[in-house]
Chains A and B, each alone.
Chain A
């Protein structure tokens, strides 16, 4: 089955700096890669997703890149703000399979 690894497990950045979180996956058939943000005591919420037919997707300060050959994808947050502090999860899935395989999460702390 699919195995998703996520690094780093914790990340601290100064407000205004960029943050990068990286994930690798093992199943070359995976073609859908969402990212979730989970604030303390809240539910995971989708912030951005990418499908395998594109290499990059951007939404304001958030971007995701995908390298299918290397089987890795990354989340980039620019101009970080304190409200970006949360746990971020990457996930992978493939057509025909309903379930998502989640990474272990990255706790991002943005220091004001």
Chain B
């Protein structure tokens, strides 16, 4: 299994531009998570999906952030317009959750720099 796949791995953009981050979860997993990691705030959960349905988006910083999961094998996190304070590493993670909690597997992350 290839594991969780994220693209792009690095993104440099200018303030005001739209940024789209992509994630392909591990095949068979039914939960998908988007995290943001910074030195100041640590690892923050932004949103998670279960069976393609957004369950909790309380971590999404503001309306500039949106996430979709159109099918079980693909999700996007979009920032529009981007701001310098959005610079961070964005991780996608997936897990299989049924009766009991199972472990989350993280993707390699997208390192975003907004100038």
Contacts and interface: CB of A to CB of B under 8 A. Distances in A.
A94 B101 contact: yes
Nearest to B43: A102
B104 A100 contact: yes
Interface in B90-110: 91, 95, 97, 99-101, 103-109
A45 B106 contact: yes
A73 interface: no
A23 to B, nearest CB: 14
Given A32-B100, A98-B31, A102-B42, A46 B56 contact: no
A97 interface: yes
Nearest to B103: A46
Chain A binding surface, main DSSP class? loop
A98 B52 CA distance: 13
Instruction: Assign chain A's interface to a size class.
Output: 20 to 34
Given A32-B100, A44-B43, A105-B42, A98 B48 contact: yes
A44 B48 contact: no
Contact of B108 (A31, A34, A43, A105): A43
Interface string A40-53: 00111110010100
Contact of A89 (B43, B45, B100, B105): B43
Residue from B56, B95, B103, B107 with most neighbouring chain A CB atoms (10 Å): B103
Interface in A56-112: 89, 93-95, 97-100, 102, 104-105
Nearest to B42: A104
A44 B45 CA distance: 14
A43 B56 contact: no
A34 B56 CA distance: 21
Interface of B: 31, 33, 42-43, 45, 48, 50, 55-56, 91, 95, 97, 99-101, 103-109
Interface of A: 31-32, 34, 36, 42-46, 49, 51, 89, 93-95, 97-100, 102, 104-105
7 contacts: A43-B91, A93-B101, A94-B101, A98-B95, A99-B33, A100-B104, A104-B42
